Structures are given as C-alpha cells and as structure tokens.
Chain A
C-alpha cells in the first residue's frame, strides 16, 4: 500500500488532536481551518487513490487492485492473530470519496452554521467531527472485521458525543444515550458474529473469511454469521426494530444530522453487508430476512414521515425509509444498486439536511414546518437546491435518485414481484411526504411570527456553497450508473465495483431471469407518471395550507405518534428492566442476601444469649457441672469401643 493512503485517516485524527487539545487557545478561524482543512487534504488524497484505482482498472479491467497496509498486530495470541491492517480496494475508495468529500462540504458548512458557539465549544465540535471522519475512514478501510468494529464503535461514540453536543439540554442527552444503547444492541450481534468466525476460522481477515467458504464454514455457520452481522447493521443503519434512535438523534446540530445520520454513518450497515456480499449470497434465508426487513422499514418509516411536522424528523424518517430500500437491494443481491443508492442518497439527503439547516438557521431554530411557508421568496438558493434534492429523492428522471432506486426496484422485481409493488408504494409515499415538506416550507404564505419574518435571509456563502455543490451532484450523480436499457454497457459503477461484487453476484445471478427492455421501460414510465401525479397532488394540497387546518385523527393520529413504537418499547423493555433492577436493589439485596448474612449473625447472637444463662455465677452449680462432666468423660472413656460400634452402625 502506498504510504500516502495511510494519511487519509491520519489527517482527520491529527485534526481531532489539534482541535481537541488546543480548544482553549485556538481562534474560531484557526479551528475551522484545521478541521475542514484536514478533511479536505484527506479528500484530495482519496481523489488520488481513486484516480490511481481508476487507472489500474483501465489498464487491467475487472482485476482486483486491493492494497493492504499492515503495520502491526493488534492482538496476537496462540489461538488467533488480529492484525491492524488497512485496505484500499474499489469499494473502499468509493466510500472514501463519499466520506471525505461530503465530510469536507459539511465541515465548511458548519464553520458558518456553528458561529454562535464560543471558541472552546466550536473547537470541540470540530474535534468531534474530525474524530468521526477518522472513525468512519477506519471503518471502511479496515481489512478485517475487528478493525471494522473499531471504526463501528468509534462512529457510534462520535454520534453519541455529537447528538448530545448541546449538553445542557437533558432531552438531547437522553437522545444521545438512546442512540448509543440501541447501537450497542446491534454491536452485540456484530461481536457474536466475530466470535463465531474466530471460532470456526481463527481469523477475521476479509481475505481468509471470504476465501475459505465451503471448506470450513457450513451453511448453518454462514446463515448464523450473516444474521448476526445483520443485527449489527440493523442497529447502525436504523432498521426495524432498532430504528427509533435515528429520529431522536436529530437533537444534534443539523450538520451532524447531515453527515452522520444521513450521509455516512448510517450507511455503515450497508457497507458491512456489501463487503460481506460473498457470505450473504450463500445464505438465502438471511437474504430473505434482509430484504423483508428492509422493505418493511422502508414502508413503515415512510408512513410515519407522512405526518411529521418537524422538518428534521421528516428527513430522519425519510432516511430510515431510504436505508430500508438499500437493504432491500442488498437482500435481493443488487449490491451495486445498494452502494449506488448509498452514494446518491448521500448527495441528496446531505443536501436536504443542509437545506433544512439553512432554513432552521434563518428561522432562528424553529423546526416546525407548520410555522414556515413561502421561504422561496427569501431564500432562493436554498429553495432551488432543496427542490432539486426533493426531485432526486422522489425518483424523477434524470435526477440521481431515479437511477439508483430504479436499479434496486428492478432487482426486487426479479426476486419477487411483490417486493417491487410494495417498493413502488413506498416510493410514492416518499414523493408525497417530500413534497408536503417542500410545499409547507417554501410555498404558500409565511405562517411564522412577524419577528421571524423580519429576520428571514439567505444563508451566508460558506453555507450555500455546499448546497450548490451537492445540488449539482444530486442532479448528475446518477449518470455513473445508467441502466442497460438506455445504453448498453454504460453502467460505469457496476464495472468499477465488479472485482468486489463479482463472486457474490455470481451466486445470485444463477438462474435469475431477466426483464426485457420494453417491459422495463414500461415499468419505469408508469412509476414515473405515478410519482409525478403524487407530487402534483401533494404540492397542490399543501401549497394552500393555512394554520390550524391539520387536526390529526384516526390513522393520522397514530402516524403522528409514530405508531406508538417508542411507548411500546418503553413498556415492553425499558420499564420491566427498570423495575427488575429496582426489585433487586430494594428487595433481593437488602432482604434476601443481606438478610441471610445478617440472619446467621442474629442466630449466633441469639444462641449465645441463651447459652449465657448457664453461667449463673453459682459456684455450687459450676462444681456440679464439673463433676458431672468428669463422670460423663469417664463413662465415654471406658466405653469408647461400644460407642464406636454404635456410631458405625448408624452413620
């Protein structure tokens, strides 16, 4: 591995150390320069790596150009060795670009967004962000599952720290804690998968694991390992049943939501499964479960998003829903499609969040879309970029979301037409709620206070540059994956990722049937038409919205309350465990265990109080007892043989 690749993760780490240790001494400008600069340098290096990889692929198409860097052993014991090894291959390099690229834009944006913070807190924010970028890079660059786990926990930690960034607010802290604990549930699955692999293979290196299939891993092993890994992915990527932390995580500053809870960290689960595609392709049961979970999450989260009024909550549920699509793609073997959607989603969802941040910034931390409206008049750049992102996520051609979502849906159709129909239903809901959000925010009349209206303004340049860049990417990002139906062999991404997914895809495509081009075109056309209809309906309905019109009842009320899932978890898991803990603390400990210990003590002291009565102080009785004791002693002495015989007989 070229040594410069090592600097890709090291630079953000350096930024973390500089900002973290110098937080009391650095000015805001210096902090922002260090924070954003390190990530930018990292991005440049990633660009180099990408270019190199591209050149190599060009020279020798389809070959594996993995580079591994192996400085030392993390853990070396007789049973196994876990090297500290980093790798760069086709999949990694793509993620490197997404993470550092979007990371840099969001750092830039944050420099303006977080201006109100005092220098130490400003530095703390950038330190956390840099640490996050470092952890995420470690996650995708790791050459074995343990290094991936290191990054995995690192991003979880940063997510915890950043959600609770405004630590004075107890609710934010609770949200941070919830995110961490729910992720830990998933982590347990991940760890167990690692243990399973170590037990069976004595190694968790990707090369060893994916290379020894069939010889040392039985189908049961593969199914179990993939399921356990999927539990980890469920936690990190917010899938049913572990998704509830993500909407709460919106407590963090908006750039954090954009970077961590939309563009990068939550896609770690997709990365993990895509990385292990070889295993998943051999476990049809797991694949079905992944697909069904993904689809269920996509639909479930979309229904909730229909009725949310917090701008960030809508986007959060939308993220959960889109992640569901990615898992659907993984479940039906469309690994390239899933990664493609990760990428396009990173563009448009980061854009949506940053746009939302821009709106929130202008509205002075008002997040209720019912109190917005007509912002297009005041914030033209935010408006246009937000609209483009909405079109992209809704899946209107030729915006990026169309291509990636279409690829997943086509693959789903091939696996099971029902997946396709439900997926399309989800896509329609997506279009509906996104344009509800758009209309309520940017169209109609302004419904906020006079004071807010007075202060409305377009955001400063450092905030709008990322919006514009991401908008361009959201529009054109899809062209790297043009399906065969439009132009043969134009799917650049598939060719690029082929070395990573070839083996996994080979297992899937056996016996899979293909759609004819005309059928595929008809399906696309119908879906696009439906989506357009929904958009028109939604825009017309909500552009004329006036305050107080919505009074949720019936199903709408259930959706507004997110299907009461939080309440359900609270009463099913949190409360019982809490009460059990209380029972142990207040009853078992003092009454049973201490009771037994103290009981023995009391018995002894009671017994001695009774025996004390024998000591009457009467010398005569002492003498009598003495003499009787001597007599008994003599009797025993002279009859010991009889006694022994007696004891032997009965004991």
Chain B
C-alpha cells in the first residue's frame, strides 16, 4: 500500500469516531445511534487491521497551530499499531456485549465515540500538544459517561476520578510547557522534545511531573484508589474501555513520552519505581483475595497486573519492554472478557457479590467454560496470551534483580488464589435460590466470547505476529533511552 493511503487511514482512524460522535449527538433515536456506532467501530476495526498488516512506520503531518509550533502530526510505529488495534477491537466488543442505555442513548454513544477518537489520538500523536489534547479528549467524555449513566454512588466516584486524573493532567501540562519553553524556537513535536537537553535537576523535576500523570492513569500503587470505585460505578461498557484500553494510555505514554525523553532521570528513579510497583502488585493481590465483589476483584487483579507492567517498564531490559508491549494487548483483551462476564452475571442475577452466587456451572455450562478460560488467562497459564507477556516481563525483572523477580513472582501464586476463589464461588458449588434462575449465554454472546477466547488462545500459542509487529519499535525505543 502506498504511503498516502496509509496516512489517510491514520487520519481516518481518528476522524471517523470524531465525526461519528458529533453526528450521534444529533440523532434522536437510540437505535440509530447504536447502528452508527456499529458502523464506525466496524470501519475503524477494518482500517486498523489493514494498517497493522503494513510493515514500517506511518507518519502524517499537517499544519495545526503554526504560531505555537504545534502540528497535527501522527506517527504509527509498531507500539502505536498494537494499541490502535486493541482500541479498534475493544469497541465492537463493548458494543456487542452491553445494551443501549434507556436514558439518552444518543449522547451515550456519542461520548463513547469521542472517547475512541481521543484514544486513537493518544496512541498516534507525535506532537506533545496534540497528545495532551487527545489525552483530555479521551478523558472528558468518560467523566460524563460515569456521572450520567453510572451506579448509585456515581457522583462521588466521578468526582474522585475527576480530581485524580485532572491533577495528573495538569501536572502533565505543566511538564509539557516547561520542556516547550526550554527551546529557542518553541515546538511541540516529539523530535524537538527529544532534542531538548535538560540539567539533571530539571530532568528529575519534569520526569516526576510526567510520571505522576501517567502513574495516576495506569494506575500504580499508591495512586490507585480511584480505580476500583470507578470500575464498580461506571456503566460496564465504560469500565471495559477504562480498564481494557484507557489504562494502557498511561503505560504507552511512559514508553513513548517518558523513558526516551528523560533517560537519565528514568534510570535514576528506576529502582524506586520498580520496587514500588512490585509492592503494589502484592498489595493489590492480597486485597483481591479478600474481595467479595466481582467487579472490585477484577479491578484489584487489574491493578496487580498493571503493577507488573509498570515494573517491567522501569527495569530497563529490552526483554521486559517487549513483554510489556505484548501484555498491553493481552491484558486489554482478557480484562474485557472478564468484564463481559461480570456484567452478564450482574444484569441477570442482580448481584455482584461472590458469596451470593454459586452453582452456575450447572445452570450455565457454556458461560462457565468461558469464565474458566478467561480466568486461566488472568493467571497467565501457558498457551494463553498473558503467559508470553508475563514470562518476558518476569524474565526482565530477573535480569535486573533476581530478588525482584522472586518477590514479584509471589503474585503469580496469589493470582491463582484469588482467581480460583472467584471461579469457585461463581460457578462451582450448589445452586441457591438466586442462581437457580440463571440462564446460559445466548448465541450472539457465545459467539462474541468465542471470538475473544480464540484471540486469547491464538496469540498465546503463536505470539510471533504480535512480536514482529512491535519488535522493531521496541528495539528503537530501547536504544533511545
């Protein structure tokens, strides 16, 4: 495919959801809005898949705010591609598994599409101002989505989420502006930022400004407390996007915007951050063991997994970085699968309490099989997609410090404990009055989950295509630090 077409696709990836979102606001009927969402999500997935099949890097530049030195410049390297693919894959899954809300469905779909546009922008932007703009474009619709369609405590929770992420965003903005003004001819482009040389003290300061913003988004211990609440209270479709795709913004940003721009500082604080992340992993795992709420359990499990990825980023090993990149994709898929399960259980039985469930394997055997497979992926059993990533990440941790791998490895034991606890409480045991009425999956749901499980197993048995997609970028980025 010639470069112009690739560039056009890159722009369309962002422009389609943006246009679709604005259009959906105007649509009066929920059904029409959802159909529009389907069309946009389908097109974006097709385009993203086409683009991912192309080798090399796609770049696009257009004038945006020349007076400020900001350009509308996109760069799709392997890392961007895998995340663009994840985003494109996530939205059809969300659409297929969650119903249209009864209240203002048009606005709901519109905001979801705007979020998608923002996410695409974050993963593609190579201009700091555009990156920041898209970062906010992805976040702001989520505030509305949570506060309008969320659960009972949605206002308080959205407020907490807003405060956390907004503080992060402001720190990021300050950091960006600081680097911006260090230049003789101010420019926001990644290359210009990379060329800026800062003193060690300045680098440390800007590093923390950037890092806190990203760490809140990931989130890593101890900045994580917005997450279980937000996951619990958001509508499930939003939760899927939040945990499946949006937390990857933080990790992606660290790889793309933090480590290469502030190499000295990121080496200086590597040990501190990696150990904190490892401690957070164990901390979240222990809490997950005690959770009785399906959604909160998944949330803490997710925090533990993200902790491992964060540690993998900061041990400065190419192996671990490759593992993180694979895990970004794998975790997104797996956690969306788990949310689909949680949503189904909650909508059908009206509860998320694990202790109130049980015996679903008798009533809903197909669902039980999918839940078991997803759980196995969650504990990174070999031949599931998560194994490859975790194997590489632990490998990197081990190369950095073998005790870190050993201590972090305890979390794979704890992961087995809480995941199997969850499986046991939901599907095994005797049925009770509540679960007696449970129904098995219907055909579309089963098909959706079958696709998901197929992705999990295929990328687990043969991860090489994903590795090839990202390998060059990983090596380049690793060399830049």
Which A positions have Cβ atoms within 8 angstroms of B? Answer: 72-79, 120, 149-150, 153-154, 157, 160, 164, 167-170, 173-174, 176-177, 180-181, 184-185, 187-188, 191-192, 195-196, 198-199, 577-578, 580-582, 584-585, 588-589, 593-594, 597, 601
Q: How far is the CA of A597 from the CA of B224 in the complex (A)?
A: 11
Chain B interface helix/strand/loop/mixed: helix
Q: Which residues of A contact B409 (CB under 8 A)?
A: 188, 191-192
Contact among B359, B381, B394, B463 with A191 in the assembled complex (CB-CB below 8 Å): B394
A-B contact list, 25 entries, CB within 8 Å: A72-B462, A75-B467, A77-B318, A157-B381, A167-B428, A167-B429, A168-B359, A168-B428, A170-B424, A170-B430, A173-B424, A173-B429, A174-B424, A177-B424, A188-B413, A192-B405, A192-B406, A195-B395, A195-B398, A195-B402, A199-B398, A594-B225, A597-B163, A597-B164, A597-B225
Are A581 and B286 interface neighbours, CB within 8 A? yes
Are A582 and B290 interface neighbours, CB within 8 A? yes
Q: How far is the CA of A170 from the CA of B289 in the complex (A)?
A: 18
Q: Which residues of B contact A150 (CB under 8 A)?
A: 382-383
Q: Which residues of A contact B383 (CB under 8 A)?
A: 150, 154
The 8 A-B residue pairs whose C-beta atoms are closest, nearest first, are: A581-B286, A195-B398, A581-B290, A167-B428, A150-B382, A188-B409, A177-B420, A184-B416
Contacts A150-B382, A167-B427, A589-B225 hold; do A199 and B286 have CB atoms under 8 A apart?
A: no
Give the size range of B's interface with the partner. 35 or more
Are A578 and B290 interface neighbours, CB within 8 A? yes
Are A168 and B429 interface neighbours, CB within 8 A? yes
B18 proximal to A (CB < 8 A): no
B12 proximal to A (CB < 8 A): no
Q: Which residues of B contact A73 (CB under 8 A)?
A: 464
B85 proximal to A (CB < 8 A): no
In the complex, given contacts A181-B416, A601-B163, what are 8 additional A-B residue pairs having Cβ atoms less than 8 angstroms apart?
A77-B467, A170-B424, A180-B420, A191-B409, A192-B406, A192-B409, A589-B287, A593-B225
Are A76 and B467 interface neighbours, CB within 8 A? yes
Are B382 and A153 interface neighbours, CB within 8 A? yes
The chain B residue sitting closest to A598, CB to CB, is B160
Best-surrounded residue of A74, A154, A584, A588 (most CB of chain B within 10 A): A584
B362 proximal to A (CB < 8 A): yes
B361 to chain A, nearest CB (A): 6
Are B376 and A164 interface neighbours, CB within 8 A? no
Contact among A170, A184, A578, A589 with B412 in the assembled complex (CB-CB below 8 Å): A184
Q: How far is the CA of A77 from the CA of B388 in the complex (A)?
A: 12
Best-surrounded residue of B318, B392, B409 (most CB of chain A within 10 A): B409
Chain A interface helix/strand/loop/mixed: helix
Are B290 and A149 interface neighbours, CB within 8 A? no
Are A168 and B388 interface neighbours, CB within 8 A? no
B239 proximal to A (CB < 8 A): no
Q: How far is the CA of A554 from the CA of B322 in the complex (A)?
A: 59
B246 proximal to A (CB < 8 A): no
- Interface members, chain B 402-428 (any A CB < 8 Å): 402, 405-406, 409-410, 412-414, 416-417, 420-421, 424, 427-428
Q: Mark B458-481, 1 if CB is under 8 A from A, else 0.
A: 000011100100010001000000
B283 proximal to A (CB < 8 A): yes
Q: Which residues of B contact A196 (CB under 8 A)?
A: 398, 402
B365 proximal to A (CB < 8 A): yes
Contacts A578-B290, A581-B287 hold; do A192 and B420 have CB atoms under 8 A apart?
A: no
B315 to chain A, nearest CB (A): 13
Q: Which residues of A contact B445 (CB under 8 A)?
A: none
B310 proximal to A (CB < 8 A): no
B355 to chain A, nearest CB (A): 12
Q: How far is the CA of A315 from the CA of B361 in the complex (A)?
A: 31
Are A181 and B222 interface neighbours, CB within 8 A? no
B291 proximal to A (CB < 8 A): yes
Are A184 and B413 interface neighbours, CB within 8 A? yes
Contact among A181, A192, A198, A597 with B413 in the assembled complex (CB-CB below 8 Å): A181
B33 to chain A, nearest CB (A): 36
Q: How far is the CA of A578 from the CA of B429 in the complex (A)?
A: 22
B341 proximal to A (CB < 8 A): no
Are A593 and B222 interface neighbours, CB within 8 A? yes
Contact among B362, B406, B414 with A168 in the assembled complex (CB-CB below 8 Å): B362
Q: How far is the CA of A196 from the CA of B398 in the complex (A)?
A: 8
Q: How far is the CA of A110 from the CA of B288 in the complex (A)?
A: 38
Contacts A72-B462, A173-B428, A192-B405 hold; do A153 and B381 have CB atoms under 8 A apart?
A: yes
B399 proximal to A (CB < 8 A): yes
A184 to chain B, nearest CB (A): 5
Are B429 and A79 interface neighbours, CB within 8 A? no
